[in-house]
Structure 1
């Protein structure tokens, strides 16, 4: 019986030689998500099957991981901890550089154009590799053909909180209020991913919210606490300190099930079955990075995620370590691209 890698190689090797693997545009990805997924999975299998042992000369110099967002955020904090442990294991410095701007596109473009040698990597997420391909004017890179998926890193839900003066104590009460005042209950959003999460909640519940966009979480938090907006959805790092201090009331978590160690916080899916919105972080290399290098990097990420200090840091920020290889990254991309395209089609929301 042929291995999955051999099967993929037979279908994909000719395209690789012609430097034309997965040259779908973002429009083609939307129209043919299954084809997009099969080809990306094939590339991931090929990358991981390049050899049991990585090239012994790699790494011979420091490795740079670009985080395409500002310092101090969830992605930045997590990746710095992982980079430090990877550096210890590899015997070379692994450091993080922040390249924020354009919803992650600036840093992503820099990695897409870097030499495919494993020394420049991208800490990507839902925004860089899914949402940016669904924009009215898609980012100037292709999330599939310009990158090689290296490793799945972590998954973290969002948390829905409201100003205590709003007078609601549960998600169902918030929805009831929103239905009684269509378009009047305001929801702070700090990015397109959060906007889609709110639209998805409205789609399943039948409520209509007024979404107020913010450039970053700080002002959104301030306005939610002051009562200038009624509700706020963001990561645990942004929401939980304020709910624990009593400045905001925590209503629900957006993962399919309740978060470990926070069993008193209900999942949205308990009220609206099927709702599952989880932020995912993954590591990417430029397209055509040598398979042995990809395999070595993937192994090092998994080793770092298994360390107690790294696991605890992720758990403390309401995330879950999600060690996985390039094929796991491909499946995540396909599933969520289909989900958010469907939400956009049904709600009519346009992302800019």
Structure 2
């Protein structure tokens, strides 16, 4: 009698061990963001049941508008490579090559925009990729006609198409163009650059409309972190000299990496501005949608939240020791949601999970004091 009981206990113990290892393995490989109130194994079985249930239902024409698998894009690689098409925030890294780049490094290794360049960009209707991180379609040679295969994809899958252009110095073109002698330099990453919005809707262009008596230069570059931004700031300050009357530094929390610290950022910024004699200085701190509206988006790990909040808190504490105006995007977004009376209204201020929409950029521009002036009436 003891032997069968022992065997049953042994089998149960083995099954529990297998279940534990499977749970850990699934979380490690794919389900890291599984809710603390749920289990990865349960999520796998739920997805399987939903897949079986969906397969029994007739196909929906609405779903046919969306890219449902990576294969659909990979099958079009020959056409996309021929037409210099690339996809941002995507697994399609094979499409990234010199002909599809709009961001380059100069002879000194500083990240910048490709001079005298225009490209088109659009969001796609995708059911693949990471949550809250939409895939971006990028046509780096819009002056050339695309193949029929590419055009069919564009017509069926894309929306919110727009374009971006750079001048001879690699600056994003500001609209309206200005020849005013006094310059306000806008420096930063893709948020300062204005990813996925047209030239007239960027942050510097919105400022240019509000303050037409000075010239706003858009020196933001997508993908640049603190070291690149500070080096580019020094280059631009030397280029324009005494013409620069103000600097607006746009910081996004995705600029942080393992080598950056609030101390390096704040010290480097102060040294560059003090060295150039810039008295009017503004620092803008922006954050991801999923870390700024926690009442709606709940897929961020607690450890990530705490890490980013600590970095922000330390940065703002250090900036308080400097003669600099600090603008917190989170406060502007909260005020907008309160005024609109909708918890969802904040989403309209983002064009994706990271970059601000034309409406968001307009609100930001109207709230930034430059040379003692603000766009607010």
Length-normalised TM-score, structure 2: 0.28
Structure showing greater Rg: 2
Length-normalised TM-score, structure 1: 0.29
